Amino acid sequence: MPEFAITAVLSFLVIMDPVGLAPLFISIAGDRDRAQRRRIATRAVLTAGIIILTFGALGAPLLEYLGVTIDALRIAGGILLFKLAFDMILAHRVRTTADEVDEAHTRTDVTVFPLAIPLLAGPGAFATILVLLAQAAGRPAYVAIVYAGVVAVLVVAWVMLRIADRVTDRLGHTGINVITRVLGIILAALAVQLVADGVVGIWRGSTA
C-alpha cells in the first residue's frame, strides 16, 4: 500500500507539474493584482479538483460499459503520458493551442479556462486517475489513496499558484525548466512501465 500511495502522489505531481505552472499562471493572470490572482488560483484549483474527481467516478463505469480492459487502458494511458513526458523533457509546457492562448488573454475570467482545464485538469490527469483507479480494483483503501493523491497535489498546486511570482523570480526560467525536465524523466519511466504492464497483461490473457 505505501508503494501505491507513493506512485499515486508522484504520478499526479509530475502530470500537473505545479512548479512549471507558475510562469504560465503569471503570463495569464499577471495583469491582475495579488488579491485577484489568489482568488483565481483558489477557484481554479477547486474547479480542477471537482472535474478530476468527477471524471474518476464516472470514467471507470463508462470504460467498463464500452468493454475497455485495464490492460488496454494502461497502454493507452502510458502512450499519452509518455508524449507529455517527452514535452516536459524538452521544456515544452504548452498545453493549449495558439488560438486558446489568444482567447485566454482576452477573457475576463480565466478560472475555468485555461487554468482549471487544461492546465490542471488535462488529458494526462484524466488518464492517470483512470489507470490508478483501475489498479485499485475497487479496494476502498486504495481508491481513497488515489483521491487523496489528487487532493494532496492540488494543494501543492494551489500554494505554487499563490506564490507564482516569487517562484518565478527565485528559480527563473532555467530553474523551472530543470525541475520540469526531471519530472518529465520520472513521468517517462512511469509511462513505459504502464505500457509494459499492459502488454504483459494482454499477452497473458491471450495465452491463458
Each residue of 30-58: pLDDT tens digit? 778 888 999 999 999 999 999 999 999 99
Each residue of 16-36: pLDDT tens digit? 989 888 888 888 887 788 889
Is the pLDDT at 167 greater than 90, yes or no?
A: no
Measure CA of the first residue to CA of the last residue in the chain; give whole Å: 28
* pLDDT, position 182: 86
Each residue of 65-99: pLDDT tens digit? 888 888 888 888 889 888 888 888 887 655 555 55
Percent of the chain predicted with pLDDT > 90: 32
Grid coordinates standing for 118?
487544461
CA dist 104 and 114 (Å) reads 6
Is the pLDDT at 62 greater than 80, yes or no?
A: yes
Domain ranges of the chain: 2-207
* pLDDT, position 50: 96
Q: Average pLDDT, stretch 141-163? A: 95
CA dist 43 and 4 (Å) reads 29
Name the 3-class secondary structure at 108.
coil
* pLDDT, position 146: 96
Is the pLDDT at 122 greater than 70, yes or no?
A: yes
Is the pLDDT at 178 greater than 70, yes or no?
A: yes
Q: Closest Cα partner for 4 from 186, 142, 183?
A: 142
